[in-house]
Amino acid sequence: MAVITMYCTPWCGDCWRTKRFLKERGIEFSEVDIDKSPEAEALVLRVNNGRRKVPTLEVDGRYFANSPFNPYTLAEELKIPLNS
């Protein structure tokens, strides 16, 4: 599977749900806390048309937000089964 980077914050409920979704399916990902990285925050703003949407995921150079959390969209974007 492709490398997944999740741009997130520790206080975001949608981020927690996305992490749980990925972990339950054994999908590896790396996290970048945009509260601690101005560069990552700038990237999130750029790829989301000026909106600070978390989580924003990067997969093979393609970005998409999963806010609000939507398991159907997440599974479709990652090309994985919805159910683990």
Q: Is residue 37 part of a domain?
A: yes
Which amino acid is present at 39? E
Q: Is residue 34 part of a domain?
A: yes
Instruction: Give yes or no for a cis peptide into 55 (omega within 30° of 0).
Output: yes
Which amino acid is present at 18? T
Please report the pLDDT score of residue 4 as a whole number.
Answer: 96
Q: Is residue 3 part of a domain?
A: no
Residues 12-43 have pLDDT tens digits of: 999 999 999 999 999 999 999 999 999 999 99
- C-alpha distances (whole Å) from 57 to each of 2, 65 are 12, 6
Domain that holds residue 42: 24-62
Q: How many CA atoms lie within 13 A of 7 on its CB side?
A: 27
Q: At residue 1, does pLDDT exceed 80?
A: no
The size of the chain, in residues, is 84
What's the predicted TM-score (pTM) here? 0.93
Q: Is residue 14 part of a domain?
A: no
Q: Is residue 28 part of a domain?
A: yes
Q: How far apart are CA 67 and CA 56, in angstroms?
A: 8
